[in-house]
Structure 1
Amino acid sequence: MFIEAVECPDTEFSDRRFLLQSDETLRAILATSAVYALINPMKGTSEADAVATQADERKRTLTSVSQAASTLRSSFQAVRFGQLQVDTLNPVADEISDRIDASPDLFLKVTRLKTKDEGTYVHSLSVSALMMRLARSIGYGDEKARELGVAGLLHDVGKLMVPDAILNKKGRLEEDEKRVVRNHPEVGYHLLKDQESMSELILDVCRHHHEMLDGSGYPHGLKAEQISQEIRLSTVCDVFEALTSTRPYKRPWSNRDALNWMFDRGHLFDKKLVIRLGSIFS
């Protein structure tokens, strides 16, 4: 039931307007001097159903992210040995697409629970889901959106060759360490190029997702007219996910702060895509 108020002093029971969900809370109410409790019969069932639905969705999302991260870890290792069957990632893309469609905010909250060892994999899952959701919002069909989703899953595969000591370093990177990190798109591109049935779009996203509109990105310093909409989309999603995630060297930003920061840097990011990405979240 939904309790609007318990008619007793706040010092005895301070909660107001809440869904009664446990015997413990009921006993706490009964232990007060209250003679009456105001119950809202119109909200009880719907609120309870909403809470139960949210709990179920969270459980499904946690399970999906955990399983997808495990599959992606195996896929990265298959890339290392030239054995990746890229079609095996389609179900992963479909599943995380369903989860972000069901609840974008919840999906991102769940992916924020990643451990240090899962960092690269869950980051890639989140980027993939964002890319698919953003792609569909600007008119891409399901097949193209899924291909972008697989590209998002594989965009950071080059980090396989970056030592964990660098990826997880808490302090500022040295110049030689920066060069190693900045080389991961090129390394990833060459790893993927050796796999069977790898599309040009997936290769392009892997190689160019760190390019910026003003030419200040890497590895090739491409400028606006040289950067396709698909690459711009991947960059916006990748940077947004990085800004809003906890990293060894920083605390997470709020969605709003990350979006505002990116929008204010139209020389780096496509503003229209930043705005559309922001419309995904409540």
Structure 2
Amino acid sequence: MRIDLSGRTALVTGSTQGIGAAIARGLGGSGARVGVNGRSEDRVLRAIEKLGREVPGGDFVPVVADATTEEGAAHAAERLPELDILVNNLGIFGSQPALEISDTEWRRYFDVNVLSAVRLTRTFLPGMTRRGRGRVQYIASDSAVVVPAEMIHYGMSKTALLAVSRGFAKEAAGTGVTVNCVMAGPTHTGGVEDFVYSLVDRELPWPEAQRAFMREYRPQSLLQRLIEPEEIAHMCVYLASDFASATTGGAVRVDGGYVDSILP
């Protein structure tokens, strides 16, 4: 399957590293013009420099903005006024005992993981529907349906994204715009390495630490390893393409079989 996104413009929030950077690389490698987003100009420019080496000839645009604010959404719209592909990847995560999560933290997880995506969808979806073409994606998680006891505030935010995605898919019904959630499983990123070591012995070498984490905290995984960011990106690139024109309102799993269900 050869995916050609030439002539399409995309924005991937939180794309200076990890899954976001992998998605930006995948979209750019398929010919899309890609807005690389982060709050720090230095980090965005360094990410674009790295992406340029990985995708020779790729068209990557810096979008230095705090995507959790109204001002950030407005700036993104100024930089990329006619967007074809919006990937709401920005998110925070961490572990905390359930009864110790403060009101402030509950609100922070909702604001960053959910409301930022809602705001950007409100910003860009009208233009997509008006042009009769577009793709909106939300990076959710297996935690949306298998809520980890050590991070229920994170699970809550990802469950909310499933409802947000389905609702906006209905808003876009019949317009040629598709809206989907990508449910990522436990994924190998720098941030996740720190998270793993917060739960297992820090003296363990990484291969052993990863196995210990999966065995103790994610035993449901059929893959029995962490997913690589590129594996999430492959699904996002597919959903951004014309091949996925009949896929909308869905929660598409790239979870390594973590969710124990035969339904998507």
Q: Which has the higher helix share?
A: 1
TM over 0.5: no
**TM bracket (short chain):** under 0.3
Which has the bigger relative contact order, CA under 8 A and spacing at least 6? 2
- Structure number with greater Rg is 1
With the length of structure 1 as denominator, give the TM-score of the two structures. Answer: 0.25
Q: Which has the higher strand share?
A: 2
